[in-house]
Amino acid sequence: MNEQENNSISRRAFLKKIAATILLAGSGLFLWKKRENHQTVWQIDPNKCQNCGDCAVNCVMTPSVTKCFHLYATCGYCDFCSGYYQNNYIARNNAAENLRCPTNAIQRQFIDDPYFEYKIDQKLCIGCGRCSEACQAFGNGSLILQINQELCKQCNICNIATKCKYDSIKRIDASSPYLLPEKYL
């Protein structure tokens, strides 16, 4: 064989290898995307959560990706919300000494006498669990802690999960990333 034929074969083999690599990479990307649709995410099981506040300090993100979520469909829209006000409030206003939330993340809005709507400012919420603990104990349980999937980095080993005393952090299917209390299912 002459040198030109050797180069032709090399080029041909090289082009075949490139085509095979592209095909393999494309099928790998397809399989990765397919798997991505069935991945799992970290979430708090509200049936096990004791609102201890450890999520606020054990998350690797600052502030914690654990946030209070409000289940509006189950809320009583009460004038006195146990998740909003301290038990020993001085007056029913939004002065700091009357409010349960240390960061003022719960916003109260008048709807119609005697109803109020409570919204959670996710940027201010630190996931301490004070509001959800009081709502579970004295209210209807419409305030719950959850891991905000838009903020969570989905660490391979969740620091919150490894330190949770109540085993309430677990991986669940990403197609329904938020768990609800059993009493509302």
| Whole-number pLDDT of residue 94 | 87
Distance of alpha carbon 129 from the chain centroid:
14
Cα–Cα distance between 165 and 11 in angstroms, integer? 62
Paired tokens of 50 = 């004791």
Please state the φ and ψ torsions of residue 116, each to the nearest 5 degrees. -130, 150
* Radius of gyration for the alpha carbons in the chain, expressed in angstroms and rounded: 26
How many Cα neighbours within 13 Å face the side chain of 179?
A: 21
Neighbours of 116 (CB within 10 A): 19
- Structurally, at CATH architecture level, domain 40-184 sits in 2-Layer Sandwich (3.30)
% of the chain at pLDDT higher than 70: 79
Phi-psi region of 135 (alpha: psi -120 to 50; beta: other; left: phi over 0): alpha
Note the helical H segments in 37-147.
54-58, 130-138
Cα–Cα distance between 95 and 118 in angstroms, integer? 16
At 89 the three-state DSSP class reads: coil
More confidently predicted of 15 and 81: 81
- Mean of pLDDT values over 122-149: 95
**30-77 per-position pLDDT tens digit:** 444 444 445 999 999 999 999 999 999 999 999 999 999 999 999 999
Enter the pTM of the model: 0.74
